[in-house]
Chains A and B, each alone.
Chain A
Amino acid sequence: MEDDFYWFWLCNISGIGCMKIKAIIGSLNDAKTAYNASESVLCNIKGLHHGDVDKIIKSKDNVHIYNAYVKMCHTNVQFVHIKNDKYPSKLKQLYDSPPCLYVRGKLPSENRVSVAIIGARNCTEYGRSVAAMLGEHFAHMGIQVISGMAAGIDTAGHKGCLAGDGYTYAVLGCGVDICYPSQNIELFTNIIHNGGVLSEYPLGTKPISANFPVRNRIISGLADIVVVVEAKKKSGSLITVDLALEQNKEVMAVPGRIGDILSEGCNELIKQGAMVITNPEDIKFSSFLTKWIKNSEMGKTDLKYSIKNQYEKINVLASEKNMLYSLLDLCPISLEEIVRKSGLDIQSTIEILLELQLNGYIKEVGHNRYIRNSL
């Protein structure tokens, strides 16, 4: 406990970021030693300026840090510093690993595969449904889903994973006591119960835009594989991809149609050599998973997913239903278009669509727009 405070102190000195903390720990090995270190010792540390040393010395008298620590102890937020046993080993390998994490719920399990689902905030229904579908199937496979709880793809990925009774983890760009975006409050609480919400920022940190690209390195750092669902040519998701590649993680992309602005980023990634993912099963063919499956003792893997033939159940549909079903895909199609393409009259089309919907084959997204529920 006492140790925790020293770490908390070290991580909350204003002007001392993760690189400087890394330098301090590199030479002094511990936060407590740093606290007790004299000015001259600190001055000798490579990477610290005089000003920094000044700040460190002064911060020892700072009541606010102590108060914040006491306040945090009264909440259910866990404080995990880099020397803590719970600290994810994957993050230690980062060049700029966060010195500490604030966690609500749990941290991702080290024994399971983690996949990050990332993508645009202003996504299409197609992206949303693909992300949700991937999340759900990954959950069935026993894969943990990591994302950033932003609107759009992130939210859909989390929700899909929760729908599949899986564990999902959200890395925030604000304090873990703040739900951003606020309409995700239900998701936020669900994630805490079925996984965890974590952040490198102290409690009460506002969601300022500068924080978000920085936290992306944690998302990719925690993941073994990064799946990009929808991204524009210039987007935050591609920053995460760059970080993931720097961290030597595998990147997979969901292909899109040529000309779709929101798929340009993904298609570009594929062009550059990213693996294509068109089916949740594809994740198994990633080199990480093939290795992982081989390494884990036969039959004792957490990858418990059995191949289900999605097409099997469709064949039992009556011919008209089958025809309407075959008109649909993951891009929402309007009722108007379905009527036109099928040649059926409006009333019977609506009736069949409702039946398909109630039986879980298709979904209505937005008003009178339908997509398939799965591939």
Chain B
Amino acid sequence: MFLRLRVSKKHKRVFARKGFTLVELLLYVAIVSLMVSTIVYFSITILEARVKNQTIAEVEQQGVQVMQIIAQTVRNSTDINAPAQGTSAATLSMNTYTGSNNPTIFDVSGGVIRMKEGSGSPVPLTNSRVTVSGLTFQNLSRANTPGVIRVQFTITYINNSGRNEYGFSQVFSGSASLR
């Protein structure tokens, strides 16, 4: 099965030129399949991790952005129309220093937080990738103060396929005082 080739007398080196045995072939196939499956598994993990990462970032960033917009608007307001002192509501209505923006209203409609300034049409603050629930504004002001509003909402990534990498939900809460 193998050839011996005498090359030189000086160099007493023997080289082999062998083929594959069945065992070797099987071993090869086994190793390759193991490696391929490992590669595929890790590739999928990487892709899932990337998607999950994107999902989390989407939820976190939209939450932070909405919270900052609401907090900033509250800080720049003159007074709170609703909810009344000591109560909470799903809609926040405030007056600002710009007459044409009165009232400025935040509410949630169809899972989207919206901001409406004066007679303008509502502007969505969150995009179609996420849905917002449990939007609550609490007027926690003490008597005879400019006022303070506590905001809380939950942002959930829309996950129609039910896959883990698209599933993420986070509760955001914060407060802002009128100046």
- Do A and B bind? no
- A contact set with B: CB distance below 8 Å: none
